[in-house]
Structures are given as structure tokens and as C-alpha cells.
Structure 1
């Protein structure tokens, strides 16, 4: 595999790709262990995935061009001319095309294998990151305290994972005896500053959340899209556990959200922004089930009608969560997550998808736009939104219990 000279990051990706391809033919020599940071590994993994997609698309495009060229040669007037042509000369072009096609198929197979391997490694790294974050949350609870109830500076100044460094220990010092169950409890105890906090819902291990404090309560941010820095086309396990950066783009995790709201009714806020600077905020009551229900989101009849649902049961609308590897949508003949992008409460694929593919500009092609972030009842089915935020808060019954 040859690599053209380019920028430093591209050279790293090219060298890594060449190494993976050559490793299929011979074992790599042993190397001394080197430990890279999570950001470096994640950058390399995302870069390799993008490189694999690009190579695969290039091979498919070239294959199409060769097939078109072969078709034109076969139907050209010269190929049908009655003049005599030397057999060896007549066979040169088809043989050359056949050889190129064979080479392309071989390279395509190798690229596909590389792409699958890198994709599997990235999923493994994301799982490891989630485990590290959970362990760091537990370690934070065991940090030594001074008599003034502040965390020891020597412990706080140690190098910690990126997310853990963002926690302000002063936020929770009024609740040292017990961590709050959710952002609303923080609000009820006098907290008015938004930011990252450690919470511990009943029956759960502690974890970090991003709280938004407003005049009417404390809301937990469960999703945010704004720049396309995080790939939301993830598996069921990733959507269950959560992924991304709580200070940037992220998905909190279905299991964490369910632990926060329990089996009680809750309020969901959806904030939308388009590319013209317009914004929309929607709030409605919901009920989120556990994993045994595929994290089904239950909507009342008036809310479901506003979202565009046409077929409703007396109790409203029940939408299971669906991903490309676990299809729970309401269409038997189609997997909405595969046909669109991301994981979502799809229903019939046409009402909304805030976890779709992020576009930095609106694509011209309709079939591309349908895979984007959309909310049909606001800007229409084929308008990909620029930014979204989702927030949730337990209902009054859950907060008082």
C-alpha cells in the first residue's frame, strides 16, 4: 500500500492502515508496550474508520466506472465493425479491464476486513472508557476530606480522566452524607448553578450528569448535538450505557435515564435549532420503561398527535427504542435504524430522529437528508437540524418519594 505525502495526522492514519493490511500476510515484530491517552486512541480509531469508509467508497466508484467503460467498449461501433482485427489486439482492452476489476475486488475485500476490525476495536475502547468513568466516580467518593469538608488538593490535582476533571467538588458538599438522586433533588436542596454533578439514583452506582438549573427546577441533560464531533450511529449496548463528552456532544445512556426517572411519569424537554437561527422548545409528559420493555417511551394521545402519529391506542402511543442491531420499531418490513441512522424511538421512521447523521450543511439529495437529524412536526421530514438538546426531570410523585 502506497501513501502520498500529506499532513502529519494523515501520515499516522496511512501508516496504521498499511500496518494492519500487511499484518494479514505476516506476523508483526514484537514492540515495547506504549500507552496512549484515550483522546489519541479515539482520534486514531475515528480516523481509521473515516479512512476505511473513504477507501470503500472510492473502490465502489472506480468499479462502477470500469463497468461503464467495459459496457461502452462492448457496444461501440468499432467492436461491431466487420473489418478484420488481430485477435490479440482485440483482447487487450477486455483483458486489461478484467485484470483491473479483479484487483479492485481484492483490495475491496481487504479494506472491508480492515474496516470491520477497526470498528470492533473502537466499540471495545468505548466500553473500556465507560468502565473507567464508572470506577473514577467511585474513587471520587473515597477521596480524603479535610475538616472543612473540601476534597484534598493533592488528590484533586492528580491527573484524572477528562470527564472526572470537570467535576466541581464544591457542588455536592452540602450533601456529603448522601449523593442526590437526580438534578431536581439538587435544586430542591438549594443548588442553582448548572454544571456537572455526581448523582446516585436508588439502587444505582454513582455517575456523572450535566444538570441544567432553571427557574422551575433541575433538569438532567440526556442528549446534545451541536457540531458532529461524536458518531451517533452506535449499537444497542452503546445507547444503553451512554457515550460522548458530557461537556460537548453526548448521549447519557438509556439505563441511566431509566434509573433517574424510575417507573414514574416524568417531563421531557426537546430543544431544536435550525440553520437559519430559529429555535423551538417542546415540553411534554412521558413514561420511560426499563430494558425489559426495550426502554419504551409512552406518550399520551394529545402529545402523540402533535408529533404526527396517526394510529393511536386508547392509552396513547408506545415507542420502543431501536438500533441497527436491535430492531424494535413498529414496521415489520423495515429496520428504521439501518435505513436512517442512529438509535431512536422510531415508530414508523417518519416522525422524528434526533440521533441521526449530523450534516454541516444541508445535502441536496433527498435520500441523504432523510438520514439526518429531523423533527417532522417543526421543520419537516427532510430538513436536517443544526443542534438539539434533550432534558428530563422526574415528575412530582417521583421527586417526593
Structure 2
């Protein structure tokens, strides 16, 4: 059975709870027992924060409920007049008989009720402030948790054999505006002979395990890449989206240099891609995954120009149609790269990167964008969904994909599929 507390009991409960919450929110920690010292874990702090939030909500609702009851009693007394006695005062919270302004015979003055209401309003305000402080502390804890995870990932890179033969699963991180480099050298970084120019050459040298490796394309300084070794050779991963840990709505310079984490979500960088493919061209593989676990793989030949061409993709007719190039440009069937601060798309009346999200080889805004906004759940609004990662030729423009991976391979026959 649910019991309704009296106004006096409610005030005592509110005052005691407010004091408890102030003690919990105090910056001075309680001393720990000397026999079992330990630090509170993230899970314990999170449980405590959620518990305090629930307590604050409950107290807030309780005070509001009691204040409405007192307001109803005050209206009844005002309508009844000063002659209300005895049974007509049933339901009025009991008070001390010698309190000023209260008749011994049972009459409760409206001034007392208004005073109680004022006190409840004050307590309600204090509880609301404490509730906001607890919510702020929880957000602070969540940010600290993300920082701890980021530091833990850096520490893990220092451990022996971290760059092993497998691909390490990433942890959730805050967005990284620049490419995060490993603090440990790749397996081939200490080799005395020259570095391979790409993952395919590494494969031809006998490497059959995927992982992080140092490469050095001709005319380029060395840099770290993620190589995926298959029965068809070595592929360089140039893009990966799998958990939304990195913000891909970046400006031109970020897309040129690269950003993210090679063991998580990342964009390798347009300049690095151009250095790898050079004038030879190669093949591009695009792996797509929807929210039901279905997968789709596309492969087509590409040739990537330099920055003087806005890193344009030279396309064959079928691929051009897939990416939204309906007519040939002065340079043939080509598609320049666009970002919100450098608009090179084929729409003269619209900035596709600004209208949608991220940087991409936009045709007319509606055919593909694998660098769009990452959605952890399906948005309800159609206009919001089109800002996500989509490939119109597979699941449609308004279906945000769950994961994508892009890989390139330089081959002697770039037209091979």
C-alpha cells in the first residue's frame, strides 16, 4: 500500500535528503578503510551517478506532488472560510498545537499552509540544483572515461607484440582531428633494406599476415598503413567506419592529410592515396554492411589525380553512373573530391558536402557518400537519414549504412576487376 506522507514528514525528508546529496556532491572524499584501500571503478561511479539522478528525480516529483496537495487544501480552506472546524479539516497535515497562528480547536490558518508551500518551493529549488549538479558530474565522468580509454589504447600500443598478425578491435574514442600514429614501430620499420612502396609489394615479398606496416611510395616520406592480405594480394585500407568514434565532417586539409585511428575508424588521406596509386592507377574495393548484417562488396578500376585536380577520380562509364556522373567533364569522366570548405561537386546550385556531411567524390549529391554522419540508430526523419553513410545503388539514398571499408591495390593491369 502506498502511503501519503504528511507535510511535516515531507519537509524533514527533503531536508535530510538534500543534506545527504550535498555531502555526496562534496569535493572532499571520505577516508577509505585502511585494511582495504582501492579506487572506485568506472562502473561503480556510473552506478552511483545514475542512482543519484534517480533519487533527485524522485525527490523532485515528491515535492511537486506535496505542493499540489497543499495548494488544494489552501483553496478548500479559502472557500470554506474561518468557520471550518473538526471533521472539515480532515486531511490537513498535523502540526504542533502551540505553533503561532493555529487554533487549538483544530482550525488551520491559510497563512501556515502558504508558509509550508514556500518552504517546499525552496526545498524543491535546492533539489533541482542538486539534480543538475549530479547530471553535470555524470557528464564529467563520461568525458573522463573517454579520456581514460584513449590513454589505455596508447598504453596498449606500447605492449610487446601489439602489432601482431591480426587486426585489433578498436575501443570507443573521442573524435581525432588528425591521424593517430602508433607509438610502436611497425614490424618492418626497423628493417635495414628499403621499405615497400605499398601493401601489394609487401605481399610479393612474402608477407601473408594482415596488420600495420611502414611503406614508402616513390617520392614520399614513409608512413604507416593498415594492410589487408588476401589470396588476391595486398590491399591498403584507406577508409573504415565501424563505430562512429571519429567525426568525419572535417575540412579539406584534414581529408588531405588523414585523420582517425588506423586500428579503428579513420581516413588515410588523399595525398597518401595519390602517392600509393601514382600514375599507375589501381583497383578500389568498397565493402558495405547494412543494419541487418547483410554485406555487399563492389570493385572497380580507379585513377586518382593529385591536388591540382582536386584529387579527381578518373572513372569508367559504369562506375561513373554508379557515382552520379551523367555527362563527361572537360577532363573526361572524372569526379573531384569536395568538402564543406572546398566545393568541387557537379551541383552548381548546392554544396553537397555542406548539405549532407563529410567529404566525398560527390556527383549530384544523391548517389553515394560513405563519409557521411554515423548513426548508432536509424533516424526517424527522412531529411536526417540522407546525411548518413549511404550507397544509393545498394540500399538507397535514405538508408544509413552500419559499416564501410575502402581498400586500394596497385596492379600492373589497373583495368582488372
Question: Do residues 4 (structure 1) and 118 (structure 2) align?
Answer: no
User: How high is the TM-score relative to the length of structure 1?
Assistant: 0.60
Partner SS, residue 10 of structure 1: helix
How far apart in 1 are the matches of 2:405 and 2:373?
Answer: 15
CA offsets per residue over residues 162-212 of structure 1, 9 Å max, x none?
Answer: x233x542x467x53101110000001010000000111111111100000
Q: Paired residue for 1:164, among 172, 175, 183?
A: 183
Partner SS, residue 338 of structure 1: helix
Structure 2: 5+ residue runs without aligned partners? 1-128, 154-173
Structure 1: 5+ residue runs without aligned partners? 16-35, 43-121, 134-162
Partner SS, residue 378 of structure 1: coil
Partner of 2:202: 186
How far apart in 1 are the matches of 2:333 and 2:353?
Answer: 19
More helix by share: 1
How far apart in 2 are the matches of 1:315 and 1:337?
Answer: 22
Partner of 1:57: none
The structural deviation recorded for 1:395 is 2.5
Partner of 2:193: 177
The structural deviation recorded for 1:305 is 2.5
Question: Do residues 268 (structure 1) and 284 (structure 2) align?
Answer: yes
| 1:97-108 to 2 correspondences below 5 Å | none
How far apart in 2 are the matches of 1:344 and 1:379?
Answer: 18
Partner of 1:218: 234
How far apart in 1 are the matches of 2:383 and 2:309?
Answer: 31
How far apart in 1 are the matches of 2:200 and 2:321?
Answer: 29
Partner SS, residue 237 of structure 1: helix
How far apart in 2 are the matches of 1:193 and 1:357?
Answer: 32
TM-aligned CA distance change 1:382 to 1:310, over 3 Å: same
Partner of 2:407: 391
How far apart in 2 are the matches of 1:14 and 1:181?
Answer: 40
| 1:121-132 to 2 correspondences below 5 Å | 126=177
Question: Do residues 342 (structure 1) and 361 (structure 2) align?
Answer: no
How far apart in 2 are the matches of 1:240 and 1:202?
Answer: 18
Partner SS, residue 393 of structure 2: helix
TM-aligned CA distance change 1:310 to 1:12, over 3 Å: same
Partner of 2:273: 257
Greater Rg by CA? 2
Question: Do residues 201 (structure 1) and 217 (structure 2) align?
Answer: yes
| 1:325-336 to 2 correspondences below 5 Å | 325-336=341-352
TM-aligned CA distance change 1:172 to 1:377, over 3 Å: same
Partner SS, residue 363 of structure 2: coil
8 A Cα contact 2:177 2:260, kept in partner: no
CA RMSD, Structure 1 to Structure 2 (Å): 2.8
The structural deviation recorded for 1:251 is 0.3
User: How high is the TM-score relative to the length of structure 2?
Assistant: 0.58
Tell me the matched-pair count. Answer: 261
Q: Paired residue for 1:319, among 335, 338, 341?
A: 335
The structural deviation recorded for 1:10 is 1.7
8 A Cα contact 2:325 2:335, kept in partner: no
